C-alpha cells in the first residue's frame, strides 16, 4: 500500500478547517442578528458603525443573509414633508410581517433577511460608507455586495408604503415577505367598551328616534353635512389624506419662509386644495342662496341688488381659480363667445 503524500493531506485538512471555521463564523453572525432582532419590538435592528463593520464590511462574502437598512435622522422628524416617522413605522410593519410570516425554522426564507436602521447621530460613518446624502433613504445589501454596491430603494417604491416596500424586496431578493399584518384600529378592550356603551345607550336612542327628536331630524344638520361633503369633494382633501400631503413647505432658500402654494403640476399642498375648495364653496353657497332664499324676498330692488352682488363675488371667485390654475400648471383657459357677438 503506497503512503499518502503529506503535502496534499495537509492542504486538504487546512481547507476543511477553513470551511468549518467559515461556516461557524457565518452561523455565529446569523445567531447574533437573530438575538438582536428578538430584542426589538418591531424586529428592526439598530445598527451603528461597529454593527456595519461586523455584519457587512468585515463579514466574509457571500453572507448567508440579506440586509435592508433604513437611514434615519431624529433631528429631521419635525420636517413633515419628509414623512420620516411614517416611513419608519411602515418599515417596521414590513419587518414584523416578514418575521411573523416566516417564523417557522423550516421556512426557506427564515432568517434570510434582516431589517435594520441607522441613526445619523449614531453612525455618521455608516451614512458616508453608503453615500447617503438625503433622506428618506433605504438600501438593500445582498449576500455578496459591499455598501457601495448595494441597491437603493427609489422614491416610487414608497408610494404605497409597506406594500410597495414588500414588492421591492420580493423583486430584488426573490424572498417572500407575505401579507402585511397591520395592527387593528381598535384593541379588544376598546371594542368591548364600545359594545357596552352601545348597549347602554340603545334604549335612549330608540326612544329619541320614535319621538323624532334626533339630530337626524334636524334640517340644519343635513345642510351643514351637505356643505361639508361639497367642500371635502372639491378641496382635494381625499388626495391629501391618501398621499399624506403637508399643508405647507419650508422654503429651501429661506428656512424661515413658508410655501403655501407650490408652482408646478407635480405636487399639490394641502393649503392649495383648501383655498380652491373655499372659492368653489362660496360659489355653491351663493347659487343655493339665489335659488332657495332670494326668491322668497318680495322686494324686487333687494332681489336685484343681491343678484348683482352674488354674480360679482362668483365671477371674482371663478377668476381666482382660473388664475391659480394658470399660475400652477401653465395652462390657459380662454372664453369662447357666441359667434353672433363678433
Virtual torsion, Cα 190, 194, 200, 205, nearest 10 deg: 160
177 within 8 A of 94, measured Cβ to Cβ = yes
Residues of the chain with pLDDT under 70: 1-24, 159-160, 255, 266, 334-336, 341-342
| Per-residue pLDDT tens digits for 235-251 | 888 877 887 777 877 77
| Per-residue pLDDT tens digits for 78-102 | 887 788 888 999 999 999 999 999 9
Query: Is the backbone peptide bond immediately before 136 cis, with ω within 30 degrees of 0?
Result: yes
What is the pLDDT at residue 12?
45
Whether the model pTM is above 0.75: no
Amino acid at each position: 500500500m503506497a503512503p499518502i503524500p503529506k503535502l496534499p493531506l495537509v492542504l486538504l485538512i487546512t481547507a476543511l478547517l477553513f470551511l468549518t471555521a467559515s461556516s461557524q463564523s457565518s452561523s455565529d453572525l446569523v445567531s447574533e442578528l437573530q438575538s438582536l432582532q428578538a430584542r426589538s419590538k418591531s424586529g428592526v435592528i439598530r445598527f451603528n458603525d461597529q454593527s456595519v463593520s461586523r455584519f457587512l464590511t468585515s463579514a466574509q462574502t457571500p453572507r448567508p443573509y440579506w440586509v435592508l437598512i433604513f437611514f434615519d435622522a431624529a433631528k429631521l422628524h419635525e420636517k413633515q414633508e419628509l414623512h420620516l416617522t411614517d416611513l419608519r413605522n411602515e418599515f417596521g410593519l414590513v419587518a414584523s410581517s416578514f418575521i411573523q410570516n416566516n417564523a417557522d425554522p423550516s421556512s426557506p426564507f427564515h432568517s434570510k433577511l434582516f431589517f435594520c436602521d441607522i441613526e445619523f447621530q449614531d453612525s455618521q460613518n455608516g451614512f458616508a460608507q453608503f453615500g447617503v446624502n438625503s433622506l428618506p433613504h433605504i438600501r438593500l445589501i445582498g449576500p455578496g455586495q459591499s455598501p457601495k454596491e448595494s441597491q437603493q430603494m427609489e422614491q416610487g417604491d414608497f408610494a404605497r408604503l409597506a406594500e410597495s416596500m414588500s414588492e421591492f424586496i420580493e423583486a430584488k431578493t426573490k424572498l417572500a415577505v407575505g401579507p402585511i399584518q397591520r395592527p387593528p384600529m381598535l384593541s379588544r378592550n376598546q371594542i368591548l367598551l364600545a359594545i357596552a356603551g352601545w348597549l347602554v345607550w340603545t334604549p335612549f336612542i330608540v326612544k329619541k328616534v320614535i319621538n323624532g327628536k334626533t339630530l337626524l331630524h334636524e334640517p340644519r344638520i343635513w345642510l351643514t353635512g351637505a356643505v361639508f361633503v361639497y367642500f371635502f369633494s372639491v378641496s382635494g382633501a381625499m388626495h391629501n389624506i391618501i398621499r399624506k400631503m403637508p399643508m405647507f413647505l419650508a422654503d429651501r432658500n429661506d428656512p424661515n419662509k413658508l410655501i403655501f402654494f407650490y408652482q408646478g403640476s407635480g405636487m399639490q399642498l394641502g393649503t392649495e386644495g383648501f383655498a380652491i375648495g373655499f372659492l368653489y364653496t362660496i360659489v355653491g353657497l351663493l347659487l343655493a342662496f339665489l335659488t332657495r332664499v332670494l326668491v322668497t324676498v318680495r322686494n324686487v330692488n333687494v332681489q336685484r341688488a343681491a343678484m348683482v352682488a352674488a354674480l360679482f363675488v362668483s365671477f371674482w371667485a371663478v377668476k381666482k381659480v382660473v388664475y391659480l390654475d394658470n399660475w400652477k400648471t401653465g395652462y390657459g383657459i380662454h372664453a369662447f363667445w357666441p359667434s353672433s357677438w363678433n
